[in-house]
Structures are given as structure tokens and as C-alpha cells.
Structure 1
Amino acid sequence: MRIVPVDEAAVDRPALENVPHVVAVAVAGDQLQIVLGPGRAQLVFEELSERVAAASSRAPGRGGNPLVRAIRVLVDIFTPLLPVFVAGGLLAALNNLLASPGVFAADSLVEMAPWLTGFAALAGLLGAAVFALLPVLLGFSAAGRFGGSPYLGAAIGAALVAAPLIERAEASSGVRADDAGGWQIWGLDVLGVDYLGTVVPIIAIASLLAVIERFLRRRIRGTAAFLFTPMLVLLLSGLLAFLVVGPVMRVLGDALADGVRWLYETTGVIGGVLFGGLYSPLVVSGLHQGLVPVELGLMADGGSFIFPIAAAANVAQAGACLAVAVAAGRGSRLRALAVGSSAPAALGIAEPAIFGVNLRLRFPFLVAAAATAIAGGLVALLEATAVSLGAAGLLGFLSIPPRSFGAFMVCVLTAVVLAFAGTFTWARWRIARGRPLEKPPEGTDSATASPGTRTVEVVAPVTGDAVLLSSLADPVFASSGLGPSVAIAPGEDLVRSPIGGTVTAVANTGHAFGVTSPEGVEVLVHIGIDTVTLRGTPFAPVVGQGDTVSAGDALGAVDRAAIVASGLDPVTIVIFTNADSFTIPWMSAAPRFRSGDPLARVVVEETGATGTGTGTG
């Protein structure tokens, strides 16, 4: 188990070495390494984490409004997947553009240019795979969020999507129990539920998997833990998944679909308003998948009201997301995320906009849902229907019969205009009052430079290209485990201080520097991944602990060529190690930095100041 102590002088190594089951204690750079033996490191880590969480009122997921906590969990699970969602949505949209007739001419582009057929099919496959196999991705992300093994989460997600594929395929006869292609446990057909593209089942299962894994790891030790714990976790999780969660979600989904159909058919315009307002929350839960059989039945009877409302909901989320992009600060990470999420939503893939931007800010999501409710009422009033499935967005007109085309366009335009206008008005109202668009987790809106607070500007320590944190080889850095972080691939050999203050730490090997501003903002500048193993060879610090520096002053020199020659990554990472003491209303999303360019803005509450706090940042 590796620990980076806040105060190295406070570490009592002899006492640690005398603790039962501690094999050895070593110091490597700024890391304290405690060797605990097979299977024990994870157990000790979990126990320490639980004790720290129990002692802290700011522990993630504890306290506060239950709805806010639930939204926060969803955001934590979906945020790492947003680049994949955006890519999948754009690829699916590209396939629609190439393969749908009537977009550019009466015939589709692939019909007019057959050589595009294979390319369009590949784009469609890549886009569809992201959402069809969504339980695998969500299993990985959700299991990690709940404290379990992400790889076991991905494995149980793969089992969920494999079941219907096995049932349909001619292969995999080894898991078939009869000619019908399935088997039963306690009277339930294990392969009878299709989880392709679902959301809620795998999140619920991942939470159970994490609980089971922690329970077993505390009771199975040593070599047996390596051999049997993963197997038992998957087996027990699988039983719960296929025998409890799956049937419950199937009943819930069927009941929801039947209720929606009854509501719409018996209440008319009111039903359209209610269904329109509920559609986006259904997307959040994944329960909208249960509407597909109802929609197909409606189309067989002459037309479906669900598709026009779904299209209005998606473009409303796109409009709200685009309003955030327009209102957000130039170069901000929020603007970059909102711009990248708006286009897929407009073309029918709303998850990036919902989970990445609108739901995280809350109000844009509610505005989009309200706009969809109004559009839903218009769908019912104007009797807009669809006769086929397709991209539920701006290209949805391809699924609309000529008699309903005008009504469909009125509904869609109404949704996007209302969502954009409402969100933009809200955003400008917040900005005019000095409030950041993105609220701190505990709802402390006053976390800006206002009376009783001070702003600290943080700058880039090196010149180079921005690096996606999730691409880093070290899981701690990749997950921002030490605090909010920014990574830069350096294009120079001099590393400078990102803030003014006191040098509070210099690693013995020279690969890391800690600087604390007068306001108490602690920043760690870490050079390279696993460069502590180089024992200081490529590094030449020019400051020592206790020195005073200004933003832009040199901290040290580094031989990047030597790091690369050693097979290591020289990426420079700026980490806010005490982010619970302040808020970060803005972080740059620029693709490239020059040394000294603005990197982040930090707001700190002054000691003894009156007013509301700054939250957890």
C-alpha cells in the first residue's frame, strides 16, 4: 500500500514495522510503501477509507439531499464515459447521414455512391456498439465508483449482454440446456431478459457486486483470495442479476410502458404534457428502453406519438447544452464539454448532454424537460406521429409521414428554442451575479470572488499539449485520486511554479514539488509517471523546502530525453491536493498551453469572513 504523507516527519517507521502482518516499510521518493502481503493491501486500504469517510462530514455520497446524492452518483459513473458516448453518437449520426434516404436527395448517399456502403456500415457498427453494449462500459465505471473491481464490473456487464446473444446465436452450445436455447433456475428463464442498451440494471448490480466483493475480501485471505474471490463475486452477482434484478426491471419496464400508453390515450394533450416531461428522466434511468415494444405496436396501428416526443426531448437537451456552451467562459472545460455534447443530442444521442452537462448543472436538465413537456402537448394536439424508428433528433423527419411533417417540425423547434432560451437566461442571470454555472456539490452558490473570499490564479508550469487524465498509465493520477488535476505533455525541460507561495515539499528524487499559496491552496507538481524509480537522475531542483516563489519562477530542470529513454512518460501533472478547502469555478480546457498561461481559478474563503461557505470544491 502506497501513501503520500502530508508530513513525512510524523511517520513512525519503527512502529509501523512492528504492526502485525506488516512485512516491510520503505520510502520511495515522496511515497511511503507498506508491504502487507498477499490480499492484505486492499483490505487495509478499504478499512482506512471507511474510517476516514466515517470521520469526515464531507465524505463522498454521505449526507445531503438523497436526490442530490443519487444524481452525483450517476454523474460520477457517466462522466468518464462521456468521450465514448460522444464518439458513438457522432458515428451513429454519420451512418444516418450516409444511409438514410431523403437527407441530400431522394436516394441515400450509399445508394448513389455504393463505394461508401462499407464505410457507412463500419461507422454504424462502431456507433451502435457503444450503446448496445452499454452494460459493459457502465459495469466497469459503476463498480469502480462503488468501491469494487472495475474489471469484475465489466465482466458482469458482459454476462448481461451475452445472454440474449447466446440465445440468438448458433454457437456457444456448451451453455445451452435445451433446444429452445435457454435454461431455468428456480423457474426463471435465465436468458429471457434482454439487457442490451440498458442502464439501471447494471448500476444496481454493480453496487451489489461491490458489497459482495468487500464482504468476501474480509473473509478470504492469502492465495485463496486470489483464486476464489473473483469467481465467487461473479457467481453471486450473477445469481442476483439474473434471478432478482433482471425480473424486477422487466416487470417495472413493462408496467411503465403500459402505463404510459394508457395515460396518453386517455388524457390527450395532458397526457402528452406529462409524457413529454417524464421522457428525459426515463432516459436517465434507462427505462425508456421498455417503450420500444409499445412504439412498434403503435406504428403497426398507424403511427407512434413516442418517437416525436423522444425527438423533441433530445433536441431540447441539445438546446439547453448549447446554451451552456454559449454562456460558459472561453477556454473553460465546461464549454468544451457542452460543445462536444450538443451535436450528438441534436442527432438523437442525448446521454452526453444529459449526464455530462445538463444533469450536473440540474437547472438546464429541468428546463429541457419542461420544454419537452410543452412540445409533448403540441404532439398530442397536432397529432404528430411517426411510422418508423430512426434517429430521434433533427433527422427524425425521415421517420415522419408527409401529413405529420409540419406538426413534427413545430414540436421539435418549440422544444429546442424554449430549452435554449430558458437555459441561456438562467446562465446569464447567474453570471451577472458573480456565480459560477457549475454549482459546488453542496449547493454553495456563493463560491466565487465575493466579499469574504479571495481568488488565486493558477498558471501552466510548462509549455506543451494538454493530456486527457483518463489516458494516464497510473490509475491514481488517471482517476484524480489525489485531487483535481491537469496533465500536460511538456515541450520544454524547465518546470515552473504554477502559483506564488512557499515551497512546502521537494521530493528527494526531485520529481515532485509542493507549493502552498498564502491563501492555503496546496498544489503538487508531479513530473512523469513512475519517475521515482529513476532515483533523481534526470532531475535538477533549483528550489528547496521553505523557499518563497512567485508564479512562473523555476522549480527545477528535467532531462525529458532521459525519461523517455527509460521507457517512462514525462507528463507533468498539476494536482490540487487540498481541494476540499476551496472551490475551483474554472479550469482551462485549452488543447495546448504555454508556460504561464491561465490554468485554473481558485476561490478561497478568508478566515473569519462572514457569509456562506465555499463548500467542498
Structure 2
Amino acid sequence: MDKRSVQQIVQAVGGRENVIAATHCVTRLRFALKDEGKVNKEALEQIDMVKGSFSVNGQFQVVIGQGLVDKVYNEMIEMTGLAKATKQDIKDAAEAKLNPFQRAIKTLADIFIPILPAIVTAGLLMGINNVLTGQDIFYDGKSFVDVHKEWADVASMINLIANTAFVFLPGLIGWSAVTKFGGSPLLGIVLGLMLVHPDLLNAWGWGAAKEKGDIPVWHLFGFDVQKVGYQGQVLPVLVASYVLAKIEQYLRKRIPDAFQLLLVAPLSLLITGFLAFIAIGPITFAIGNAITSVFVTIFNNVPAIGGFLYGALYAPLVVTGMHHTFLPVDLQLISSTGGTFLWPILVMSNIAQGSAALAMMFLAKDEKLKGLAVTSSVSAYLGITEPAMFGVNLRFRYPFIFAMTGAAIAGMFITINQVLAPSIGVGGLPGFLSIVPQKWTPFFIGMAIAIAVPFALTYVFGKFKKETK
């Protein structure tokens, strides 16, 4: 390992005096910096061992690579005299610099990122079930299991396994949210599962029960409280988790240690449970439905504009970290309407960023940039766009703009054709598995647009730009 390169990295991020704390993950150095304006990105990315750099949620991250990053980190610590820090230390230092709006977005990210693997896995499994049960995929007017009935129970079991993460989604969110808010994760799980207890009316049957006037109720203190579950809902468990964590913290400070086991958890759950069913649940359920109605109304009335704008703006949202705010909206749309029209546009955006980065591979003369463009484009095609965006496209600007253009056109096309995803899967080329089979054709056309338009525009402009220099 070249010690001089490590020294150059420290100098490029503003020097020892600009570093509050530093740690590393599997592939990246993570810095909490006093002033990111002092970073010399051009000098940083000229260092051979640096594969790219970007800033997110108050952290400045330098991509080094697996296997080498820990050696670079240890050398940097020895060279600078910095104390070794944990990821949480960096998060805390970075969060202190965020404004309230940025903190709110980061809170959502911290809650949903840990449960995202479960949701994506469920989406992939549901995609397999869609292939087995969708009509006109293998046979005209029939599904695979209609013709091969011996596979029907296999599809049924796959569907059960896949649906579990969505049916018990409040349990997953409860665990992650209560942990984030400083409460006991186990109580968060219990709270989430309590909101989908089988004794409650299933949320998906609430509309039909309301029309019939057949919603079960509890009679509490002279009030009728609906016995309704919150399957697939996001807002009720988010707010209830915050309340639970704060009640638990309050009680732990005031109840003697000898009685905490007997009192803290029961009182926290009891109080939160009553509040959840009496006030939090009904209010947030109505808010969630209102949010859903706004998006549905926009995309029903002006689908071309909605799809174009969301396709164009999704990548900038990723740059700011605000894209995390739309995952709850996707989940709410799936719960309320049976499918989301936003997530398929996300796939178009990711593919478009990969295509623009791939075009840069053909334009670049620097071997390091060529390698980064290839690897980051493959990553983007599989749903992870940060290396392509921060390592290649944003560095040259025009690939990023042309990727936004391709994503906007593709997003407009698939929205006009009412492409829906009943689940969330891999946000890249395998994303078709999460699309209803009847809409595969327009989705594939949208993917072709997202591949061809950014690639062609980036390549042609790049060639023209070099010729005019």
C-alpha cells in the first residue's frame, strides 16, 4: 500500500484539521468533516486507489474498494493521530450539521433502510409467483399453474412466503422505528404485530365493511372505537413507535430499577396501544389515504406530466437523500390500491443512470475512468446507482442530465400505459419480476427507452464536445 496516496487523501479532504471523525465500511472511507467546501474532489479522484467520492446525509464518503479500505483506514489513523470511530460516531457527528428537514429525511432513511432487504426479497418472490400465476405469459388465456396444476401448491406456498413481509410490515417498521427512536426493539415488534392482530378487521377489508356498515367496534368510556387492523400501513406504526419509545424513556427515568421489568414494558405497551387504536391509528390512516389520493389523482388526471416529472426528478432526489421519503408512499399505494405506479419509474431512473455511465466508458480515455464506468453501470442496472451517479455522471454533468432525460421519457411512457408494481423488488433490469405480467410489454419498452436515450445522447454529445474543444 502506498502511504503517499493515503496522505494525499487526507490532504484532499481538507487536511487533518478538517476531519471531525472517520471510519470505514466494506468499501468506503466515511468522514464527518467540518467544512465539505474544503474538499478538493478533482485532486481526490486523481489518486489511483480512489474509485469515486460523494457526500450523503452529512457524511463525505471516499470509495476505495473491498480488502484495501481497512488498510488505508488503519494507515490514515496512524498517520493523523485520529481516534478510531464507529459508524454511529460518524452518523452522530454528521447529523449534528443537518437542518430539521434533513434530519427528518435521515430519520426515515434510518428506519426503512434496515428493513429494505426483507421488502425487496418479498418483492422478488412475489415476482416469481406472478410468473407462475399470470395469464398469457406461457399460454394464451391461461397461467402456468392452470396448465400444470401440480405446481399450484408450490405457487401458493411461494405467495405465502412472499406476502409475509407485507402482511406483517408494521412489525418490521415497529422494530426499526422504535430502535431509531431510542426504545426497546422487542417492544417495537410487539407493537407492530399488535396493529395487525388477527382479531382485528383486516385493513384490506375495511372499505367493503364500511359500505355494509359492518365494522366491529370496542365500546370504551362511552365511545365506539373501530377494531381495525393496519396491514400494510406505514404512518400508524411510525407515529405509534415514536410515542412508545418516548413513553418507555420517560418511565425508565422515573421507575426504580427493581420495578422496571414489571412496570416499564407493560405500561408502555398498554398506554401506546390505547392511544394507537383510539387516536393515532384512525388519524394517520386518514392522512395516509389522503396522501394516496393526491398521488392517484395527479397520475390519473395528468399521467404524462406526473410520469415525466417523477422520472426526471428521481435521480436528483437520490443525490439529496430525499428519495427515501417515497418508499412509505410506495408501500401506502400498494396497501391502498393494490399497486404502485411510482416504483416502476424508479427502475427507469436507475437504468438510465447506468446507461449514461456505460456511454462514458466508450468516451473515456483514462483507464481508471473506463473501469469505474463499467462497474458502476452494471451496479446501476442491478438497482444501485450511487457509484454511477457520484463516480461518473455528476462528475461530467451532461451524462447525469441525459440520464434524467431518458428516465423522464421512459417514466412518461410507462405511466401513460398504467404500469403497476404490486410489490417492490430490485430496482433495475430484474425489476420486471415485480410488475403485473399484463404490463410487461410497455415496461420492457420503457426499459429500452431508458437504455437507449441516455446512452445515445451521452455518447453523441461527448463526441461532439471533444471535437469542438
1:420-439 equivalent positions in 2, closer than 5 A = none
Change (3 A) 1:211 1:409: same
Match of 1:399 in 2: 438
Q: State how far apart, in whole Å, the 2-side matches of 1:262 and 1:195 are.
A: 23
Which residue, 107, 111, 122 being the options, matches 2:146?
111
**Which whole-Å CA distance do the structure 2 matches of 1:313 and 1:214 have between them?**
41
Distance 1:80 1:180, change over 3 A: closer
Q: 1:315 and 2:315 equivalent? A: no
* In structure 1, C-alpha distance between the alignment counterparts of 2:133 and 2:389, rounded to whole Å: 32
Instruction: Tell me if 1:128 matches 2:163.
Output: yes
Question: In 1, Cα distance between the equivalents of 2:126 and 2:328?
Answer: 19
Query: Contact between 2:232 and 2:332, CA under 8 Å: does it hold in 1?
Result: no
**Can you give the 5+ residue segments of structure 1 that lack an aligned partner in the other structure?**
1-54, 170-177, 297-305, 346-352, 426-617
Percent of residue pairs identical: 28
Q: Distance in 2 between matches of 1:366 and 1:132?
A: 39
| Cα distance between partner residues in 1 of 2:381 and 2:139 | 26
Give 1:218's aligned residue: 253
* 1:244 Cα offset (Å): 3.3
1:236 and 2:271 correspond: yes
Equivalent residues in 2 for 1:171-182 (5 A)?
Answer: 180-182=215-217
Q: Which has the higher contact order (CA 8 A, sep 6+)?
A: 2
Which whole-Å CA distance do the structure 1 matches of 2:214 and 2:289 have between them? 27
Larger Rg: 1
Counterpart of 2:227, as a letter, is: L
Cα displacement (A) at 1:411: 3.3
**Distance in 2 (alpha carbons) for counterparts of 1:68 and 1:77:** 14
Give the drift of 1:66: 3.3
**Deviation at residue 292 of structure 1 after TM alignment:** 5.6
Whether contact under 8 Å (1:317, 1:358) holds in the other structure is no
Q: Distance in 2 between matches of 1:243 and 1:278?
A: 38
SS at match of 2:196: helix
- Specify which structure has the higher proportion of strand: 1
SS in 2 for 1:167: coil
Unaligned residue ranges in structure 2 (runs of 5+): 1-88, 204-212, 318-322, 362-367, 425-430, 460-469
Counterpart CA distance in 1 for 2:277 and 2:181 is 20
User: Helix, strand or coil: the match of 2:136?
Assistant: coil
> 1:459-608 alignment to 2 at 5 Å?
none
**2:305 aligned residue:** 270
Alpha-carbon distance between aligned partners in 2 of 1:283 and 1:56, rounded to the nearest angstrom: 22
Deviations 1:85-137 (A, max 9, x none): 34323322222222223333334332333222222221111111112211111
Aligned equivalent of 2:119, options 85, 102, 121: 85
Query: Residue 51 of structure 2 corresponds to which residue in structure 1?
Result: none
How far, CA to CA, are the matches of 1:291 and 1:201 in structure 2? 15
Q: Which residue of 2 aligns with 1:155?
A: 190
CA contact (8 A) 2:105 2:325 kept: no
Aligned-partner Cα distance in 2 for 1:261–1:121: 30
C-alpha distance 122-293 of structure 1, shift in aligned 2 (>3 A): closer
User: Offset at 1:218?
Assistant: 0.7
Structure 1 position 379, deviation (Å): 4.7
Equivalent residues in 2 for 1:181-330, closer than 5 Å:
181-183=216-218, 185=220, 187=223, 189-192=225-228, 194-264=229-299, 266-267=301-302, 269-274=304-309, 281=323, 284-291=326-333, 295=337, 309-310=341-342, 312-316=344-348, 319=351
Amino acid at match of 1:286: P
Residue 254 of structure 2 aligns to a residue whose secondary structure is coil
Tell me the alpha carbon deviations over residues 55-84 of structure 1, each in whole angstroms, 9 at most, x when there is no partner: 999546433233433343333333433443
Q: Aligned residues, how many?
A: 330
In the alignment, the residues of structure 2 paired with residue 101 and residue 367 of structure 1 have an alpha-carbon distance, to the nearest angstrom, of 37
Q: Answer 1 or 2: which has greater helix percent.
A: 2
Distance 1:126 1:264, change over 3 A: closer
Question: CA contact under 8 A between 1:317 and 1:365: conserved in structure 2?
Answer: no
- Give 3-state SS (helix, strand or coil) of 1:195's partner: coil
Distance in 2 between residues matched to 1:245 and 1:370, nearest whole Å: 41
Native 8 Å contact 1:213 1:233 kept in 2: yes
- 2:98 is aligned to 64
TM-score where L is the length of structure 1: 0.43
Q: Distance in 1 between matches of 2:273 and 2:387?
A: 33
Counterpart of 1:384?
417
**Residues of 2 paired with 1:233 and 1:131: CA distance?**
26
Shift of the 199–318 alpha-carbon distance from structure 1 to 2, 3 Å rule, reads farther
State the distance in 2 between where 1:231 and 1:358 align.
Answer: 49
Query: Take 1:198 and 1:369, find their aligned partners in 2: how far apart are those partners?
Result: 31
- CA separation in 2, counterparts of 1:143 and 1:360? 32
Deviations 1:38-69 (A, max 9, x none): xxxxxxxxxxxxxxxxx999546433233433
Contact 1:368 1:419 in 2 (8 A): yes
Q: Determine the structure 2 residue equivalent to 1:576.
A: none
Deviations 1:357-378 (A, max 9, x none): 99999x8999988765443433
Q: Give the match for residue 414 of structure 1.
A: 449
Which residue is 2:59 aligned to?
Answer: none
- The answer to whether the 8 Å contact 1:217/1:229 transfers is yes
- Which residue, out of 95, 98, 101, partners 2:129? 95
Contact 1:190-1:242 at 8 Å conserved across structures: yes
Q: Output the TM-score relative to the length of structure 2.
A: 0.55
The answer on whether the counterparts of 1:371 and 1:419 sit within 8 Å (CA) in structure 2 is: yes
1:276–1:291 distance in 2 versus 1, CA, 3 Å: farther
**Corresponding residue for residue 575 of structure 1:** none
Task: State how far apart, in whole Å, the 1-side matches of 2:400 and 2:125 are.
Answer: 24
Shift in Å at residue 204 of structure 1? 2.8
Cα 1:245–1:75, aligned 2, differ >3 Å: closer, same or farther?
same
Deviations 1:195-230 (A, max 9, x none): 222334323322222111110001111332111110
